[in-house]
Amino acid sequence: MEWDFKTCKEAALNCSTRNEFKLKYGAAWSYCKKNNLLDDFCLHMIIKRKTHTKEECENEALKYNTKNDFIKNAKNIYMYSWRNKWLNQITTHMEVCYHNWTKEECKEKALLCTYKKDFYKKYKKYYEHSLKNGWLDDLCSHMTEIGSRYKRCIYVWEFGNNSAYVGLTYNLNIRITEHKNSKRSAVYKQLKISSGLCKQLTDYVNVNESKILEKYWVNFYKNNNWDVLNTGIIGLVGNTLSKYNEDNIIEYSKIYNNRTIFRKKHSGAYKYAKKQDLLDKYFPKNK
């Protein structure tokens, strides 16, 4: 059976634990792991954890002088103690290694950041203290939401001459700047002709879902009589992910007449097709 996003999700829904999923559907498990889908598909599953007695946790805690050392060297037992509300009792002998900042002090640091990840990177202790005290969402309410390697949003540039460009990105603000400054961008060229406005069409969602949504919105604008400026293959993501698969190669084979042109236009995809022995199948030498 050939596994994809849909079939893997269905297989995962038939399992109650990750171990059961791995044993019953090993190939689907591997596909999900490779494409970073396990956390999304396994949310409904039961997490089986090893149990510990309070005495066992206390004996382990006695090996460390600070909570930082405890969590660094015995994270499972630390978290088990926290979940069972034993942590404060078994760490009374430990030194206090953090400053008890007020919410206002944490807010001062948060206001210096545009994104949550900046807050975490620049002021990690303040970030963790805010998270621990339940202040994080409030302190980060002014921040701009962005995606990641695994999450993208869909956006559209609409122009006064009824043309549109649909794209996906992990950071809309950065992508807008890139479009405005790159002479190779279809948006850059169109802005020379007509005024345009960029709109965010979706939240930041799983990268595989974003590829499907990009195709949906391209078709939406086409069906509503917009002149869609997209010329490349819809659904490809940037270089931060392994973006090539056999479906991509099939699409390229429909665009290019021979492998020489294909290699010149898309060297990365060509190398992938060569490595996977797909060139003769989709770009026969007599074409």
Is residue 70 within 8 A of residue 94, CB to CB? The reply is yes
Is residue 78 within 8 A of residue 47, CB to CB? The reply is no
Distance from C-alpha of 231 to C-alpha of 234, rounded to nearest angstrom: 8
Q: Given this structure, which CATH class describes domain 151-228?
A: alpha beta
Distance from C-alpha of 167 to C-alpha of 45, rounded to nearest angstrom: 34
| Nearest alpha carbon to residue 262 among 238, 230, 234, 285 | 285
Distances (CA, A) of 143 to 56, 137, 140, 202: 43, 10, 5, 18
Place of tokens 């149990």: 51
DSSP secondary structure string for all residues of 61-91: HTT-SBHHHHHHH-HHHHHHHHHTT-HHHHT
Is residue 160 within 8 A of residue 191, CB to CB? The reply is no
Q: pLDDT tens digits, the chain, 287 residues: what are they?
A: 789 888 999 999 999 888 889 999 999 999 998 888 888 888 888 776 678 899 999 999 999 988 888 988 998 899 889 888 999 899 988 876 657 789 999 999 999 998 887 888 888 888 888 888 889 889 988 887 766 667 889 999 999 999 999 999 888 888 898 899 888 889 999 999 999 999 999 988 888 888 889 999 999 999 999 999 988 777 665 544 346 777 778 878 878 878 888 888 888 888 888 877 788 888 887 65
What pLDDT shows up at residue 96? 67
Query: Which residue ranges make up each domain of the chain?
Result: 5-41, 54-90, 103-139, 151-228, 246-282
Give the bridge partners for 167, in sequence order.
Answer: 155
What pLDDT shows up at residue 51? 83
